[in-house]
Copies of this chain bind each other. A is one copy, B any other.
């Protein structure tokens, strides 16, 4: 997962047209290191302790990074947001209905299905992103 150096992060921000601030770099670096979506709470907790970043700053950077397409938000019907780094490759999630377990599964594309949906649509001509989430009980909760 450490395939992104600090310089890579900076390049990503610049190419996205975002200012390279210390805090924004930290927020994106944090997400690059994760294996699954993390809650905003976890990010605030970690980033405040380690670098003294304020929660408002974390929220504002998450918003700007998402608008730039660098990270992906998923609520999982939990009533709070989770974020993960956007790799550009297909990735979807299995979500436990009982605990906070979220398993990412990479490499399964649903582009064909998305195309079918778009063909049937009356209100959309094109789309930009999509998400697929599968819910159930994880092995330890079952």
> B-contacting residues of A (Cβ < 8 Å)?
73-79, 81, 92, 94, 96-97, 101, 103, 105, 107-108, 110, 113-114, 116-118, 120-139, 142
Cβ–Cβ contact A103 & B79, under 8 A: no
Cβ–Cβ contact B136 & A129, under 8 A: yes
Cβ–Cβ contact A123 & B138, under 8 A: yes
A124 with B94: in contact, given A108-B116, A117-B134, A134-B118 (CB under 8 Å)? yes
- Per a CB cutoff under 8 Å, which of B81, B120, B133, B136 touches A128? B136
Cβ–Cβ contact A133 & B134, under 8 A: no
Q: Give A114's nearest chain B residue, CB to CB.
A: B134
Q: Give A93's nearest chain B residue, CB to CB.
A: B117
**In the bound complex, what is the Cα–Cα distance between A11 and B2 (angstroms)?**
55
Cβ–Cβ contact A97 & B128, under 8 A: yes
- Per a CB cutoff under 8 Å, which of B75, B114, B129, B136 touches A127? B136
Chain B nearest Cβ from A58, distance in angstroms? 15
Cβ–Cβ contact B75 & A103, under 8 A: no
Cβ–Cβ contact B128 & A130, under 8 A: no
User: What residues of B have a CB within 8 angstroms of the CB of A101 in the complex?
Assistant: 123
Cβ–Cβ contact A103 & B122, under 8 A: yes
Cβ–Cβ contact B75 & A94, under 8 A: no
Cβ–Cβ contact A81 & B77, under 8 A: yes
